């Protein structure tokens, strides 16, 4: 059986299977112990040994799954339907754009990317998913306080607001293949992430363009 370090995060879903969040092994064990795990649908990733039960003299052993469905109040409905917009932060923004500069299309490390406002804040642009892209420093400097049209620069992909399931995926630090496959089934059919993920799961190379240009 394949085994992972306990630093591997577990994907928690609600009882209907809607993705909720990443949890660490402590939270996972707590959910098992408090009998909030309705069912596990991923593979077993590690075994956590707990304390000795004073009554039975037995050591508790919890076999933690990569994906666990849990009981309880979740608010998943509002997040998985309607006009949910996840919080905007650079790490998930850069992952949305496949760590490519959306102007020169070259790959960069997260530390070498910046958040570009397509319509600059100085021209009334807003700090929202649809108005921001990953840009390398050089392209961002070159663009300055202009729109792409004013700077004669073209976006290589159209920005999008991640759905909740897409956001969970983008937030994942190290997403296992079965977790990825699971999240993928919750993405909209039109999600630009499909192409990237199927490439990853097929063991293929990541396509150069993270997101198709839908113009
Ligand atoms: Zn660039």
Q: Look at residue 84 and tell me if it is in a domain.
A: no
Domain count, the chain: 3
Same domain, yes or no: 15 and 73: yes
Q: Which domain holds residue 166?
A: 162-201
pLDDT at 78: 61
pLDDT at 204: 44
Those residues of the chain that have pLDDT short of 70 are: 1-2, 73-82, 199-215
Same domain, yes or no: 25 and 72: yes
- Of the candidates 161, 170, 162, 108, the one whose C-alpha atom is nearest the C-alpha of residue 139 is 108
pLDDT at 81: 62
Q: Look at residue 208 and tell me if it is in a domain.
A: no
Distance of CA 135 from the midpoint of ligand 1 (Å): 5
pLDDT at 208: 41
Q: Look at residue 48 and tell me if it is in a domain.
A: yes
pLDDT at 215: 37
- Summarised one tens digit per residue, pLDDT across range 142-175 is 999 999 999 999 999 999 999 999 999 999 999 9
pLDDT at 201: 59
Distance of CA 44 from the midpoint of ligand 1 (Å): 41
pLDDT at 195: 80
Helix (H) or strand (E) holding 35: none
Distance of CA 157 from the midpoint of ligand 1 (Å): 13
What is the DSSP-derived secondary structure letter of residue 60? E
Distance of CA 138 from the midpoint of ligand 1 (Å): 6
Distance of CA 202 from the midpoint of ligand 1 (Å): 28
Residue 130 sits in a domain whose CATH number is 1.10.30.50
- Rounded CA gap, 127 and 96, in Å? 16
Distance of CA 114 from the midpoint of ligand 1 (Å): 10
Q: Look at residue 213 and tell me if it is in a domain.
A: no
Supply the pTM of this predicted model: 0.83
Give the Cα-Cα-Cα angle 120, 97, 105 (nearest 5 degrees): 85
Q: Look at residue 150 and tell me if it is in a domain.
A: no
Distance of CA 10 from the midpoint of ligand 1 (Å): 35
Same domain, yes or no: 95 and 139: yes
pLDDT at 82: 63
């Amino acid at each position: 059986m394949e085994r992972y370090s306990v630093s591997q995060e577990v994907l928690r879903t609600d009882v209907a299977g809607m993705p909720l969040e990443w949890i660490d092994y402590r939270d996972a064990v707590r959910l098992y112990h408090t009998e909030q795990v309705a069912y596990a649908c991923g593979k077993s990733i590690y075994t956590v040994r707990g304390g000795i039960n004073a009554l039975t003299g037995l050591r508790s052993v919890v076999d933690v799954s990569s994906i666990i469905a849990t009981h309880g109040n979740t608010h998943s409905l509002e997040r998985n339907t309607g006009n949910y917009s996840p919080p905007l932060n650079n790490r998930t923004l850069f992952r949305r754009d496949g760590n490519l500069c959306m102007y020169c299309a070259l790959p960069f490390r997260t530390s070498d990317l910046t958040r570009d406002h397509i319509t600059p804040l100085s021209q009334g642009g807003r700090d929202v998913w649809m108005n921001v892209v990953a840009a390398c420093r050089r392209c961002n400097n070159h663009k300055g306080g202009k729109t792409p049209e004013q700077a004669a620069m073209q976006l290589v992909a159209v920005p999008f607001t991640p759905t909740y399931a897409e956001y969970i995926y983008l937030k994942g630090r190290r997403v296992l293949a079965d977790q990825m496959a699971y999240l993928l089934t919750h993405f909209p059919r039109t999600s630009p992430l499909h192409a990237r993920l199927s490439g990853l799961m097929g063991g293929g190379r990541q396509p150069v363009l993270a997101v198709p240009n839908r113009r």
